[in-house]
Amino acid sequence: MKQAVILAAGEGQRLRPFTLNRPKVMLAIAGRPIIGYVVEALAKSGIRRIVLVVGYHKEQVFDYLGSGEQFGVEITYVTQEKQLGTAHALAQAASAVDEEFFVLPGDNLIDAGTISEFIKSKPETVLVKRVDNPQRYGVVTVEGGTVRVIREKPREEGMNLINTGIYALNKEFFRFIKTALDIPDVLNRMIEQGHVIKAMETGGTWLDVIYSWDILSLNSAILKGIQPVMGGIVEANVAVKGRVAIGKDTVIRSNSYIVGPAVIGANCEIGPNVCILPTTSIGDNVVIEPFTEVKNSVLGDDVHISSGGTVEDSVIDRSCSIGGHFVACRGEAEVNVNGELLQVTLGAMLGEGCKLGSNVIAQPGVIVGAYSQVRSLKTISGRLPDRSLVV
CATH code assigned at 164 = 3.90.550.10
Helix (H) or strand (E) run with residue 100 in it: strand 100-105
| CA gyration radius, the chain | 22
Tell me: do 67 and 130 sit in the same domain: yes
The widest CA-to-CA distance across the chain, in whole angstroms, is 70
Separation CA 344–CA 346 (nearest Å): 6
Q: Are residues 174 and 233 in the same domain?
A: no
Residue 19 CA to residue 74 CA, distance in Å, equals 27
| CB-CB neighbours of 267 under 10 Å | 17
Q: pTM of the entire structure?
A: 0.91
CA distance 140 to 277: 39
Same domain, 139 and 256: no
- Where in the sequence is the domain holding 29, given as residue range(s)? 3-210
Q: Are strands 100-105 and 161-170 parallel, antiparallel or unpaired?
A: antiparallel
For residues 30 and 315, give the distance between their C-alpha atoms in angstroms, rounded to a whole number. Answer: 12
Strand duo 298-299 + 287-288: pairing? unpaired
In terms of domains, do 310 and 370 share one?
Answer: yes
196 and 93 assigned to the same domain: yes
Per-residue pLDDT of the chain (391 residues; tens, 9 = 90+): 789 999 999 888 899 999 999 999 999 998 899 999 999 999 998 999 999 999 999 999 999 999 999 999 999 999 998 888 999 999 999 999 999 999 999 998 888 888 988 888 888 999 999 888 777 788 898 888 999 989 877 666 657 888 999 999 999 999 999 888 999 999 999 999 999 999 999 888 888 888 999 999 999 999 998 999 998 999 999 999 999 999 999 999 999 999 999 999 999 999 999 999 999 999 999 999 999 999 999 999 999 999 999 999 999 999 999 999 999 999 999 998 888 888 899 999 999 999 999 999 999 999 999 999 999 999 999 999 999 999 9
3 state DSSP class of 246:
strand
